[in-house]
């Protein structure tokens, strides 16, 4: 495990909360994403307007996304978001056979 991602309806409120209570620091990547550090594990918050039901996304790392996405699909995983780019890398998201959603990323 390399990164953990949460969802939030109000990024300013969660930034204020976690910096005040735990001393986390934040780096904004546009209006819809902020990354945190100084928490023991790096992660971020993605802004969502809809009600948040499953708020945690565990992000795994692998250097070969194309090979990994093929292996996930072949092993019975469901691809929920195909490979896409973001500042610093690329990733995809999938559900495992139990229905847990995770992501896999690599550097650009």
Domain boundaries, the chain: 1-60, 62-108
User: What pLDDT does 62 receive?
Assistant: 94
* φ and ψ of 64, to 5 deg: -120, 90
What kind and span of H or E run contains 22?
helix 11-22
CA-CA distance, 6 to 86, in Å (whole number)?
Answer: 16
Predicted pLDDT at 12: 95
**Under CATH, which number does the domain 1-60 receive?**
3.10.180.10
Do the two domains 1-60 and 62-108 of this chain adopt the same fold? yes
Q: Mean pLDDT in runs of 10 for the chain (108 residues)?
A: 92 94 94 94 92 86 95 95 95 89 92
Residue 4 near residue 41, CB atoms below 8 Å: yes
The superfamily CATH assigns to domain 62-108 is 2,3-Dihydroxybiphenyl 1,2-Dioxygenase, domain 1 (3.10.180.10)
Quote the distance between the C-alpha of residue 32 and its chain's center.
13
């Amino acid at each position: 495990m390399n990164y953990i991602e949460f969802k939030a309806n109000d990024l300013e409120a969660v930034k204020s909360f976690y910096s005040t209570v735990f001393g986390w620091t934040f780096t904004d990547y546009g209006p819809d994403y902020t990354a945190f550090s100084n928490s023991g594990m790096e992660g971020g918050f993605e802004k969502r307007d809809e009600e948040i039901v499953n708020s945690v996304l565990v992000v795994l790392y692998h250097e070969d996304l194309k090979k990994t996405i093929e292996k996930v699909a072949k092993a019975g995983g469901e691809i929920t978001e195909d490979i896409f780019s973001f500042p610093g890398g690329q990733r995809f998201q999938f559900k495992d056979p139990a229905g847990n959603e995770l992501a896999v990323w690599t550097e650009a």
